[in-house]
Structure formats: C-alpha cells, structure tokens
Structure 1
C-alpha cells in the first residue's frame, strides 16, 4: 500500500515565503502518512499573472535547477518523494535570459527526475522556452513521470510516459478559471470541467495512477482552480480538494490496481501505431482551435 497526496495551494513571487509554505505542506503530508506528494506548478515563485500578455516586469524569478531552493526542498522531503514546479533559469541567448516552466522530483537523496513543459499556450510562448520531450524515471515509490499543466491537454504526453514504464504520473498545474467565458459558479466553469476531464481521461486511457496538483487563490488577473486530486487507473477520482487549498490523499496498491485495470483490456498492448497516420507530427489541414491554457 502506498499513500499518495496532491496539493492545492497558493504561491507568490516571494521564494522565501514559498519555501516556508512548501515546508508546511510537506509536514502535513508526512503527518498524513504520504509517501509521494505532488505540489503545484510555480510552487517556488508563482506563475505568470496574465496568460495573454505577460509583463516582462512581473515574471516569476528564474531559479538555478541545481541551486539552494531545490536542494532545500529535497532536504525537507527526506524519505518522501516530492514533485514541484518552478521557473528554471536556462542560461542566456541573443534574446536575453532563457526561462523554462520546469518541474523537479526530489527526495532526501536529491533530484530523482526533471521535466520542462513542452506545450506552451500562445500567450506564454514568448516567456518560456518549450521543453523537448517526456521521460519516466525511477523513484522509491516506483516508476514515475511528470507533466506541467497544458501538457496534459495532449494525449501523447501521458502516453509517452506510460510507454516508458511510468505507472504514476504527477501533473503539476497553475490552471485558472476560464478567461473568456466566466461562469457564475466554479463547478460550471469551462476550464474547471476540462481540468477534471483531462485528469480522468489521461489516467483511464493509459491505465495508470495520476496525481494532479494545482494552484489555488488568485495571481494577478488569474483565478486558479485548486481541484487537486488522485485518480485511479480506471479514471475514478479517489480523493480530491475543491477550490480552496488542501491535500487530496488516497491509499493505493499500484501493482494490484494497474494489473486489474489491464486484465481484460490492455490499452498499451492493443495500440496500432502503424495506423496512426498523424502520429509523426503532420499537422491537420485546418486548426481545431486554440485553448486558453
């Protein structure tokens, strides 16, 4: 039995404040008996404050991926496996500093895995450089992978991780309510519906466990959804939070649950990649539309 936890919480531009909040959340997860904890994207330094026109003067601080902040979280993690997102400094080029929307998975032994967000919505494409791939990695809790919010919109992202042996994927988000179609209640919000739909679909279609962490509260013009959750390999929500901060905690038996989910229908084995004519990256003739996040 493994206890998984996913957090909904608010973070700021004050990295020292954020580190203290991370420490508190890790402490609560440890007290709850969690072996794996997913924290949101932007857990160190927050996220952009405007998705359509991010101000260069209000960007998250760009952190060294090998720097003291990540090492501090690893020390806090101790025996736990902790995933978190941040803005990574990737050096400089002719256009100035290079930033990645990045994630690190750590324990007291150090960094276990990293990911750079591949899929950048139009508004932030000028802020963050896209990552170049997806890879699973081994942890004391089993083989895992990570995605960052908009990545989960694309089925290929989670599928590549599952094919690489990941049985648990942590998706770290700073996912806000709809910018263009405000709903009177969060439960009716278009982006809230999609956020939950993608979490459940990506778990079910790959028959894997899924941790979804998200920011809550407000950041600039954005109202983050919260809605952290643990999802089983059949797409069932095992534990969740709502719009406010909190921890979604669930006990799972990964081998038993995944083996059971794949006992009759084994989606990965039943694939027919030779028939997927667009799988090589060829674009459709007409764009299907552009998402908000």
Structure 2
C-alpha cells in the first residue's frame, strides 16, 4: 500500500419517489470528491435509486433513469477526475432479481466488477438476492474490498476480504438510527463493529453513509468515517448534514493475533448440523431463566484464598457465575485449585479464573469450576506462549451453556464464533492486560453472535448482552466487582432483525478462505 487520498460522499437520503434529486446530489458530491484530489471515492449503500425500494422493479418507474444510464454518469465522473469509484446501487439482472451492490469503476471509467451484499437485512430479502463472493481490487496504490452495511455484523465477511488481500475495506452503508437530536445520531456499527473489524484484520476501514430519512420511517446516522488498522477512528462526519469526507491514508503495520485455520472447521459446516441448532430448539421458560453473573477485575497475582473469599461474598449476593480476570501465577499453580473447588462445592454456582505463567513453559489457561467438575482450557491463540490444541468445551451451568476464552483468543473472531455454533449461551473471557479495544471487542463478540460475554482483566471488567448492550461495567482501576442479570432465553434469539439470523443466514460454503 502507498499513501493515497480517499473521499466518502455522505449524501442526503431521498425516497424512491425523488430519484432525480438523489442523482443530482450524488453527481455534485462526486465532482467535489474529484476537486479534492481523491484517488478512491465511495458512495453509500443503494445511493441510487434509493435503499427502500418498495418493490423489486424500481427501474420500471417512469421517473427512475435506467441503470445503464446512471452507470454511464458514474463512469464519466470517475474518468473525468481519474479516480476509482465504488458506487452503491440497486443492480437489475436478466433473471428479474436485484442485487444490493458496490459497483466499481476504474479511473478510466471502465467497469471493474461489483460486490453484492451477502448478509441481507430485514426487508432487503424482499427484492435483493444475496452475494456469495468477496472480490478484492488492486488499484495500484492499495488493494481494496467492499462490504455493505449489515455485512459488517458478520465477522466472516471482513475476514474473507482481508484474507483475499484487502488492505482497505470499504463499507457502503445505510446505518439506521434513532434519537431526539439529529446531531447526536449514531449506530453500533460506527461505535464498535467497524473499529473492531479494522483492528482484528489489521486493515483500514472507510465507511460512507447517508444522512436524513427515507420513507418517513428510516433515519440514517451519517457518521461517515475512516478507521485505522489499530481500530482508532481518524475522522468522522456529523450525523445531520451533507459532507464529503476527505482523508489521506498511509501504510500502517500492526500485528494481529495469528490465526489457526485448522481449529475453525465448524465455521465451514452447514447450520443444520451445528450443536447450536439443537440448543435453539430446546423448550425454555424465560421467566425461570434469570440468573446473576459477576465479573471481578484482577489484581495481578494469583492467590487462591483471596479468590475463594471473594467468590463466597459474591455468591451471597446471588451471583450464579463469577468470572475473575486473568492473574499471573507460578508454575504448578494448579496445586491451589482444591481451595477454590471447596468454595464452589460449599457455596454452589460456578467460578471462572484465568492464570498465566511465564518462563520456559509460558502458557495461559482459563479454569471453569462447578460443583461437579473442574475444566482447564489452554489458550489456543496468542504470542510467546505454548498454545492449546482445542477450543473450549461448552459446559451446562445454572446461567446456561458456558464456554471459555483465554487471553488473546477474544481478539480472533473465529474463536467466539465457533463457541456460539457449539451451543454457548455465554462466553466467559479471562483476559490479562488492559487494551484500548477490549470494551469494543466484548460488545462485538456478544452482538455478532447474539450471546452474553462476561470479561475481566487487570483493573477492569464488563458484561455485554446479546445485542451488544453493556449490562455491567466496573469503574476503571477500582477492582470493584460488578453483577448483571442474564437470561439464556435472550441468547437463543438469533434474529438481529426480522428474517436476519446470525446462524441461519450464514454462508459457510462461501467462507473457504477462513479454513485455508
């Protein structure tokens, strides 16, 4: 990758009944991007003719220009200004269906292909068919791929683009929002999903969104932005006005946690055979499923008697599961486990603890202790440690089916994804050292899998619900334990929107790159 300038055209949304106004806004924004010296330009999702199409035949309307005519106008803008253009368009096909696509034009005005939205959102499926390929374009100055809006909620899509060589991921989006003040609108994708996608893949992310409303019921968040490979948002547009966001991207090398594709076999298997499908069909009375989970920041050094005393205190406060942050311990620390096992047998519930050792046999482990058994899971991902050979088991507990993550495993989206597919309702993550992305990663892992995530590390802890909402957050540096109510019924509701299911709408046959 070489330094280059990108422009994100945040155009005002318009109804399908006003396509010409939409088009003229777009053409003005494309000229402004060219005048700013952009080398790569991005338009939002379905910039033309609109996002909410009302039916599958938008180009049959008398006031909507032909797809070919509009494409020629976009191609002309790319040619006149000499930039690459990724344009969000509803693309008609000869078999009568549409795709929600990023249509890519080169600086010579020639069409270079398209990406079709894969993870269709809500009424998308009424008129769009989904894409199944994840192309990457080489612009000379950078290799880029594209995803579209809800695609950012599925970790496999951005990961596939990165594995195909993308250094920059374009997000052609239509982030919806709600709020009292237009200037304060936001969306979970710009808050944590897309920063995490940049961070976990070590790529730049550039998202172009609309602003305003469509159909009197769809409100857009604006917030077109550029995120660097460390997950830091470099520039962000307001939510309530037209804007052409211009930013100069530069090469930036960040280290990501190495992948282990041999452990991801289940990600390529059909949903029908996944253990989670059996879990989702189990009868359940939600009113009887409320439980309490506690998270406890670590104080840095493993001490079994201190942990046992803290555990008993939290059990007295009705915590059914207590997750302690990762501690540093000596080799052979397992000899102190009987004290913790005794506390759990006496008080009931379940305890999770992470321990890291250094030296010749450096490793990181997370332990789950229930009255019936003690399970030790060795971290399968990380740097400078001996790696475990298998993912965590999924264990029935009073709070639901619990699985474990240890250390850097949470930074790798395939790990939590596999645990959800294995039937986990809650993932207990014992992390070790603070990191600026940890809160965002916890929320993303919970939201993208529709599970609970309870995480604790040095001086901080958090519980996130299946929608990514923060249910409990410890004051930084306080070592205060926090509790939250969880209900496994919520983790078994896998629809993000009507007809948009995080399990049933995956495309495992398209995720071959993840397994290679």
TM-score between both structures, scaled by the size of structure 2: 0.49
Partners of 1:153 and 1:61 in 2: how far apart?
29
Paired residue secondary structure (2:266):
coil
Which segment drifts farther, 194-203 or 37-46? 194-203
Alignment correspondent of 2:207: 212
Alignment correspondent of 1:237: 233
Paired residue secondary structure (1:279):
helix
- C-alpha displacement of 1:126: 2.2
Runs of 5+ consecutive residues of structure 2 not aligned to the other structure: 281-491, 501-516
Alignment correspondent of 1:275: 263
1:248-287 equivalent positions in 2, closer than 5 A: 248-254=245-251, 257=252, 260-261=253-254, 265-267=255-257, 270-283=258-271, 284-285=276-277, 286=280, 287=492
Paired residue secondary structure (2:112):
strand
**For residues 208 and 251 of structure 1, do their structure 2 counterparts lie closer, same or farther at Cα, with a shift above 3 Å needed?**
same
Alignment correspondent of 1:52: none
Partners of 2:74 and 2:133 in 1: how far apart?
25
Runs of 5+ consecutive residues of structure 1 not aligned to the other structure: 50-54
Partners of 1:170 and 1:160 in 2: how far apart?
13
Alignment correspondent of 1:86: 89
1:45-60 equivalent positions in 2, closer than 5 A: 45-48=49-52, 55-56=54-55, 60=58
Paired residue secondary structure (2:5):
strand
Aligned residues of 2:84 and 2:106 also touching (Cα < 8 A): yes
1:1-293 equivalent positions in 2, closer than 5 A: 1-12=3-14, 13=16, 14-48=18-52, 55-56=54-55, 60-61=58-59, 67-78=68-79, 79-92=82-95, 97-109=96-108, 110-177=110-177, 182-185=178-181, 192-220=187-215, 221-243=217-239, 244-254=241-251, 257=252, 260-261=253-254, 265-267=255-257, 270-283=258-271, 284-285=276-277, 286=280, 287-292=492-497
- C-alpha displacement of 1:272: 0.8
- The higher radius of gyration belongs to 2
- C-alpha displacement of 1:60: 4.2
Deviations, residues 167-207 of structure 1 (Å, cap 9, x unaligned):
11111012211xxxx54346876x61333312211111111
Paired residue secondary structure (1:184):
coil
Partners of 1:288 and 1:68 in 2: how far apart?
44
**For residues 56 and 113 of structure 1, do their structure 2 counterparts lie closer, same or farther at Cα, with a shift above 3 Å needed?**
closer
Paired residue secondary structure (2:21):
helix
- C-alpha displacement of 1:277: 4.1
Which segment drifts farther, 109-118 or 277-286? 277-286
Aligned residues of 1:65 and 1:88 also touching (Cα < 8 A): no
Partners of 2:66 and 2:227 in 1: how far apart?
29
- C-alpha displacement of 1:124: 2.4
TM-score between both structures, scaled by the size of structure 1: 0.83
Aligned residues: 269
Aligned residues of 1:115 and 1:134 also touching (Cα < 8 A): yes
Partners of 1:21 and 1:187 in 2: how far apart?
21
CA RMSD of aligned residues (A): 2.5
Aligned residues of 1:61 and 1:87 also touching (Cα < 8 A): no
- C-alpha displacement of 1:278: 2.7
Partners of 1:65 and 1:119 in 2: how far apart?
26
**For residues 187 and 22 of structure 1, do their structure 2 counterparts lie closer, same or farther at Cα, with a shift above 3 Å needed?**
closer
